[in-house]
Amino acid sequence: MAKAKGDIIIDVEICKGCELCVEACPENIIETAKQVNNKGYLYVVKVEDSCTGCTNCALVCPEAAITVYRKVKKKKELVTKISNVTSDITLKVGK
């Protein structure tokens, strides 16, 4: 089964650099940055694009600094249905 696709946004200004999220991420995609935020904490950043949206990082963050997004697969939509064709027809799809 394909992995779910997720993404996170880290509010670096409220991050305190505790690294709980770094430990909690099964994909190892969160790392400590080399810079400090306005409060003087080394904040964390996302370094890879393989987030599954599992929410582990957000659940362990004591500062609620992480927002997790998960891509939802779109349902199939009916575009057109052709029936009862009795002679040649021309179909134009799109522009």
Shortest reach from residue 74's CB to ligand SF4, in Å: 21
Count other C-beta atoms under 10 Å from residue 70's C-beta: 13
53 binds ligand SF4 (CB under 6 A): yes
Query: Which phi and psi angles does 44 have, rounded to 5°?
Result: -110, 155
Count other C-beta atoms under 10 Å from residue 20's C-beta: 18
Exactly one of 33, 40, 68, 86 binds ligand SF4 (CB under 6 A); that residue is: 68
Which candidate, 43, 68, 72, places its Cα nearest to that of 58?
Answer: 68
Count the residues of the shown chain that bind ligand SF4, applying the rule CB under 6 A: 29
Shortest reach from residue 73's CB to ligand SF4, in Å: 17
Shortest reach from residue 26's CB to ligand SF4, in Å: 6
